[in-house]
Amino acid sequence: MNNVQGLDRFIRALVGVLALLLAYFWLGGVWQWVALGVGAVALATAAFRFCPLYAVLGWRKAATPARGSGVMPLLAGAVLVAVAVGGAWASQMFSRKFFLEDFNAMNGFYKQTLFLTGKAEREKAVDQYERLLPAYAAFQKKYTAWQPLALRGDPQFPGDLARVSGIFQGVNDLVRTGDLQQAHLALEGVRPVFQEVFKRNGFSMLSVTLVDFHDAMELMLEAGTAKDAAKLQALYPQVNDKMKAVEAEASDADIQTIRQNLDALLKAAQDAQTDALPQRADQLKTSFVKVYLQRG
């Protein structure tokens, strides 16, 4: 005998949909299985209009449907579909957003540590490194236990997190008392790991394009410092393509400054102004570092 009717049935269906959305998009581990169980039970009792607990307790005997009430089931169904579709879309979008926010919060300490080790400023580097370690440990713990949908199909991701953790732990002595340049070079290995994570999983973000540009730009900077105008001109097309990708993500004043400095470096090379190349290269690097530290 049916013992779930009307509003009770709608609430069960709504709870079931919300529980499944939570389980699929937001939860991991034991809580994910709990939410899946709640969602499945709620939807099953709503679909079959029968609750075993009600039957045991003798509650909610079947009611006779009122005439002319056919509109209400259609309205309830439309609401449930809207919740399911809208909830899935919002969950996918916001779970990606929150992941990127968590990453950027942790990555800020990494970028500062990388920058300061490169500048041989030990005291400041140690301070940022000590902030980085717990921030990354929390990030790794959270996203090892649970991945947003965008990363869930990536079997390499947990291994990448462990690999980065190994790099961070491995430079401990170098950052604190050892060779800061060696620490800097080791820390450089973190960027391509996350770059590949983002590329594999379809993230379109400024930081990915900035990292791509940086790797190509470094070759031009070396050529500029060495006053090698021919090599610099040969490298420009590749670097220009990377810069176009950055501009596709953002084209504000800071990005335009990078573009201006990049083209100024090329022009100095084309005009055989070899003595000006190191200064132009330094201007390009400075404008890039400003953007990368703030938004990369």
Structure confidence at residue 68 (pLDDT): 47
Residue 87's pLDDT band (cuts 50, 70, 90): very high
Fill in the amino acid letter for 157.
F
Structure confidence at residue 207 (pLDDT): 75
Cα 198 to Cα 257: distance, rounded to the nearest angstrom? 26
As a whole number, mean pLDDT of residues 249-269 equals: 95
Structure confidence at residue 93 (pLDDT): 82
* Token pair belonging to 74: 């259609």
7 or 284, higher pLDDT: 284
2: three-class secondary structure by DSSP: coil
As a whole number, mean pLDDT of residues 186-210 equals: 86
* Token pair belonging to 27: 């939860």
Closest CA to 264 of 293, 246, 287, 289: 287
CA–centroid distance for 195 within its chain: 10
- pLDDT over threshold 50, residue 142: yes
Structure confidence at residue 61 (pLDDT): 57
Query: Which are the contacts of 187, defined by CB distance < 8 A and separation ≥ 6?
Result: 110, 113, 114, 117, 167, 168, 171
Structure confidence at residue 204 (pLDDT): 65
Instruction: Give pTM, 2 decimals.
Output: 0.67
As a whole number, mean pLDDT of residues 158-169 equals: 97
Cα 130 to Cα 123: distance, rounded to the nearest angstrom? 11
> What are the start and end residues of each CATH 1.20.120.660 domain in the chain?
204-296
Residue 134 CB coordination number (10 Å): 11
Q: What are phi and psi of 6, to 5 degrees?
A: 50, -130
199: three-class secondary structure by DSSP: helix
Per DSSP, 271 falls in state T
Burial class (CB in 10 A: 0-12, 13-18, 19+), 93: exposed
Average pLDDT, the chain: 89
As a whole number, mean pLDDT of residues 29-50 equals: 91
Please name the fold of domain 96-203.
Four Helix Bundle (Hemerythrin (Met), subunit A) (1.20.120)
Structure confidence at residue 296 (pLDDT): 62
Per DSSP, 67 falls in state T
224-244 pLDDT, tens digit each: 999 999 999 999 999 999 999
Query: Which are the contacts of 247, defined by CB distance < 8 A and separation ≥ 6?
Result: 255, 259
Provide CATH code, domain 204-296. 1.20.120.660
- pLDDT over threshold 90, residue 274: yes
Structure confidence at residue 160 (pLDDT): 97
- pLDDT over threshold 60, residue 66: no
